[in-house]
Amino acid sequence: MENELHRRDHTGVQDFVLLEDFTNSEAFVENLRKRFTANLIYTYIGPVLVSVNPYQNFDIYNDEYVQIYRNVNFYELPPHIFAIADAAYRSMRGENRNQCVLISGESGSGKTEASKKILQFLAASSKHMKDVEQVKDRLLQSNPLLEAFGNAKTNRNDNSSRFGKYMDIQFDYKGVPVGGHILNYLLEKSRVVHHSDGERNFHIFYQLIAGGTPLLLSKLKLSKDAENYHYLTQGKSVRVDALNDHKDFNHVKHALDVCDFTAQEQEALFSIVASVLHLGNIQFEESEDGPANIADFTPVEYISQLLGCPEGILQSALQNKTIEAKGEKMKSPLNKDQALYARDALAKGVYDRLFTWIVKKVNDSLNSRKRMKCSLMGLLDIYGFEIFGVNSFEQFCINYCNEKLQQLFIELTLKSEQEEYQREGIAWEPVEYFNNKIICDLVEAKPVGIIAIMDEECLRPGEPTDATFLEKLDKNLGQHPHYISHSTDAAARKSIGRDEFRLLHFAGEVTYSIQGFLDKNNDLLFRDLKEAMSKTSNMITSQCFPAAELLNKKRPNTASTQFKTSLAQLMDILMSKEPSYVRCIKPNDYKRPDQFDDRIVHHQVKYLGLMENLRVRRAGFAYRRPYEIFLNRYKSLCPDTWPHYNGAAKDGVEVLVNHLQYSNDDYRLGKTKLFIRFPRVLFATEDAFQVRKNDLATIVQARYRGFAQKKKFRTMKLAAIMLQSHWRRVAAQRLLKRRRQAAERLRGFIKGFIHRLEPECDENKHFIQYTKYNYLMKLKGQLPRNVLDKKWPPAPQLLQKTSQLLKDLCMRNLTLSYVKSITPGRKAQVRFI
Which parts are annotated binding residues for ATP? 105-112
Q: How far apart are CA 422 and CA 672, in angstroms?
A: 12
DSSP 8-class letter at 462:
S
DSSP-assigned beta bridge partners for residue 165: 184, 381
Q: Give 750's contacts (C-beta < 8 A, 6+ positions apart).
A: none
Is 112 catalytic? The answer is yes
Q: State yes or no: is 115 an active-site residue.
A: no
672 is catalytic: no
CA–CA separation, 278 vs 293, rounded Å? Answer: 17
Residue 82 half-sphere exposure, CB side, CA atoms within 13 Å?
21
In sequence order, what are the residues at sequence separation of 6 or more whose Cβ sits closer than 8 angstroms to the Cβ of residue 495?
Answer: 511
Burial class of 128 by CB neighbour count within 10 A (0 to 12, 13 to 18, 19+): exposed
Closest by CA position to 366, among listed 144, 200, 171, 576: 171
In this structure, the dihedral spanned by the alpha carbons of residues 98, 104, 107 and 109, taken in order and rounded to 10 degrees, is -100
Residues 6+ away with beta carbon under 8 Å from 724: none
Catalytic one among 98, 107, 125, 201?
107
Distances from the Cα of 552 to the Cα of 345, 418, 457, angstroms: 20, 50, 22
List the strands of the sheet with 667-669, edge to edge.
623-626, 673-676, 667-669
- Among residues 179, 211, 280, 384, which one is catalytic? 384
Catalytic residue among 12, 108, 211, 280: 108
Q: Do the strands 164-171 and 177-185 form a parallel or antiparallel pair, or are they unpaired?
A: antiparallel
The contacts of residue 41 (CB under 8 Å, 6+ apart) are 35, 51, 52, 53, 54, 58
Spatial contact of 494 and 502, defined as CB atoms under 8 Å apart: no
Q: Are 464 and 570 in contact (CB under 8 A)?
A: no
Residue 605 in contact with residue 611, Cβ under 8 Å? Answer: yes
Closest by alpha carbon to 312, among 321, 302, 304, 324?
304
Binding residues: 105-112
d(CA 474, CA 491): 16
By CB atoms closer than 10 A (0-12, 13-18, 19+), residue 401 is buried
Distance CA 367, CA 356 (A): 16
Whether residue 218 lies in the annotated active site: no
Catalytic residue among 2, 188, 199, 386: 386
The residue type found at 382 is I
φ and ψ of 644, to 5 deg: -135, 145
Catalytic residue among 160, 320, 685, 764: 160
CA 666 – CA 657 distance, rounded (Å): 10
For CA atoms 43, 613, 96, 176, give the dihedral sign: negative
Contact 775/806 with Cβ under 8 angstroms?
Answer: no
Alpha-carbon distances of 380 from 100, 116, 124, 580, rounded to whole Å: 7, 12, 20, 10
Q: Note if 290 is an active site residue.
A: no
Q: Which three-class secondary structure state does DSSP give residue 500? A: strand
End-to-end CA distance of the chain: 136
* 15 Cβ neighbours under 8 A, 6+ residues apart: 1, 43, 44, 45, 46, 75, 79
Catalytic residue status for 542 = no
Residue 108 falls in which region: left (phi positive, over 0), alpha (psi -120 to 50) or beta: left
Task: Centre a 10 Å sphere on the Cβ of residue 782 and count the other Cβ atoms it contains.
Answer: 9
Q: What is the DSSP string of 213-252?
A: -HHHHHHTT--S-GGG-HHHHTTS----TT--HHHHHHHH
Catalytic residues: 107-108, 112, 157, 160-161, 384, 386
